[in-house]
Amino acid sequence: MKCPYCGYNESKVIDSRPTEDDEKIRRRRECLSCGKRFTTYEIVETAPLMVVKKDHSRQLFDR
């Protein structure tokens, strides 16, 4: 995760927990370069499952 303070691309996760609504994950991170801490919120993106048929057409998975 890119540090918002110095722009360094490496950080470590200090704390991780779901938000109150359980829709996001809150992570407390520390930059490995400058040592400053920052918070990120992560949301799971769900993509629809697609089935590729023998004729190479695609359909939504419906089971």
State the pLDDT confidence band at 1, using cuts at 50, 70 and 90. Answer: confident
What pLDDT was estimated at residue 60? 93
Strand partners, 28: 15, 39
pLDDT of 35: 97
Question: What pLDDT is attached to residue 44?
Answer: 86
Number of CB atoms found within 10 A of residue 31's CB:
21
Q: Per-residue pLDDT tens for 3-59?
A: 999 999 999 999 999 998 888 999 999 999 999 999 999 998 888 999 999 999 999
Read off the pLDDT band of 62 (50, 70, 90): confident
Cα-only R_g, the chain: 19
Would you say 41 and 19 are in contact if contact means Cβ atoms under 8 Å apart? yes
Cα–Cα distance, 61 to 55 (Å, whole number) = 16
